[in-house]
């Protein structure tokens, strides 16, 4: 059980590390290309557009209600964005929210999500936050081994008090200590 937990944690940390590296690549690219993904969800009351953008070291997530429609707040938030389309633009000369390089910034234009009429809400954030968040688990996983307590297996952390010569979980033979 302990071994399974450890394996699952390692798998999640590995996925997180892969994500972290993918975000780093995306951020490096964002100074050269403006990656813009959007997804339109049609609801009985109208359409809702979700967008995600990576530009100049910042990221933005936004929910917009198209002009002239009046979906209720709850139906807008219940819409699940599935079919995304990616568009790539050259990075222009506009500063593109430089404040979002070091802090979160909210956007609430038009009527926000409260309608009626056009409105949108969004959040801009520094891309390094996404890198940092995805780096936490891998860092924790990598420093884990150093924090092994005496009496525990150095490889898997199993309690070796009953079997000090060999770990029954992973087979590791602990170094002799006298």
Binding residues for Zn ion, rule: CB under 5 A, are 153, 155-156, 158, 167, 169-170, 172
Coil/strand/helix, residue 48: strand
Q: How far is the CB of 18 from Zn ion (least distance, A)?
A: 26
Name the residue nearer to Zn ion (CB basis): 123 or 156: 156
53 and 60 in contact (C-beta within 8 Å)?
A: yes
First to last CA, the chain: 31
Name the residue nearer to Zn ion (CB basis): 50 or 158: 158
Q: How far is the CB of 148 from Zn ion (least distance, A)?
A: 10
Q: How far is the CB of 137 from Zn ion (least distance, A)?
A: 21
Name the residue nearer to Zn ion (CB basis): 47 or 172: 172
38 and 50 in contact (C-beta within 8 Å)?
A: yes
| Phi then psi dihedrals of residue 99, to 5 deg | -65, -25
């Amino acid at each position: 059980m302990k071994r399974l937990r450890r394996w699952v944690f390692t798998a999640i940390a590995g996925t997180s590390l892969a994500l972290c590296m993918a975000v780093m690549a995306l951020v490096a690219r964002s100074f050269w290309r403006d990656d813009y993904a959007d997804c339109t969800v049609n609801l009985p009351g109208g359409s809702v557009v979700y967008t995600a953008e990576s530009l100049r070291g910042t990221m933005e997530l936004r929910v917009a209600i198209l002009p002239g429609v009046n979906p209720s707040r709850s139906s807008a938030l219940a819409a699940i964005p599935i079919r995304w389309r990616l568009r790539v633009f050259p990075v222009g000369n506009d500063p593109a929210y430089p404040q979002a390089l070091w802090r979160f910034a909210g956007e609430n234009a038009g009527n926000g999500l409260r309608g009626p009429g056009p409105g949108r809400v969004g959040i801009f954030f520094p891309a390094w936050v996404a890198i940092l968040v995805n780096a936490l688990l891998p860092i924790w996983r990598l420093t884990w081994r150093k924090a092994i307590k005496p009496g525990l297996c150095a490889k898997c952390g199993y309690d070796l008090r009953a079997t000090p010569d060999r770990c029954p979980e992973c087979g590791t033979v602990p170094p002799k200590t006298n």
